[in-house]
Amino acid sequence: MSNYGKMMKQAARMQQQIAEAQANVLKLTAEGASGGGAVKVVARGDSSIASIKIDPQVFAGGDASMLEDMVLSASNQALDKVRELANAEMSKATAGISIPGLM
């Protein structure tokens, strides 16, 4: 088999691995928390928010800006974590080769 043929087979195999990794990324979830766990946010691999849980005790203080900050912090933490997981998944599929626009 020629070098070109081998290269085309490798490219096809990598393309399949990338497609599988992209499907796996969509299944990923990660949790972020703030306020000692009073606010918990779960993010999905597609960078959407799956859920937000707030301990009812947080409302007792009546400080809306503090609650907003805690939700924002937990959300950003969850999104950062899921991005890290997604990058690791894609890195496995591409053998560490950075492919622009993939993630």
Per DSSP, the residues of 43-76 read EETTS-EEEEEE-THHHHT--HHHHHHHHHHHHH
Which stretches in the chain have pLDDT values below 70? 1, 96-103
Q: What is the pLDDT of residue 1?
A: 55
* Homologous superfamily (CATH) for 3-93: Nucleoid-associated protein YbaB-like domain (3.30.1310.10)
Against a cut of 0.85, is the pTM above it? no
Q: What is the pLDDT of residue 15?
A: 86
Q: What is the pLDDT of residue 96?
A: 62
* Sequence ranges of the domains in the chain: 3-93
Nearest to 87 by CA among 97, 72, 77: 97
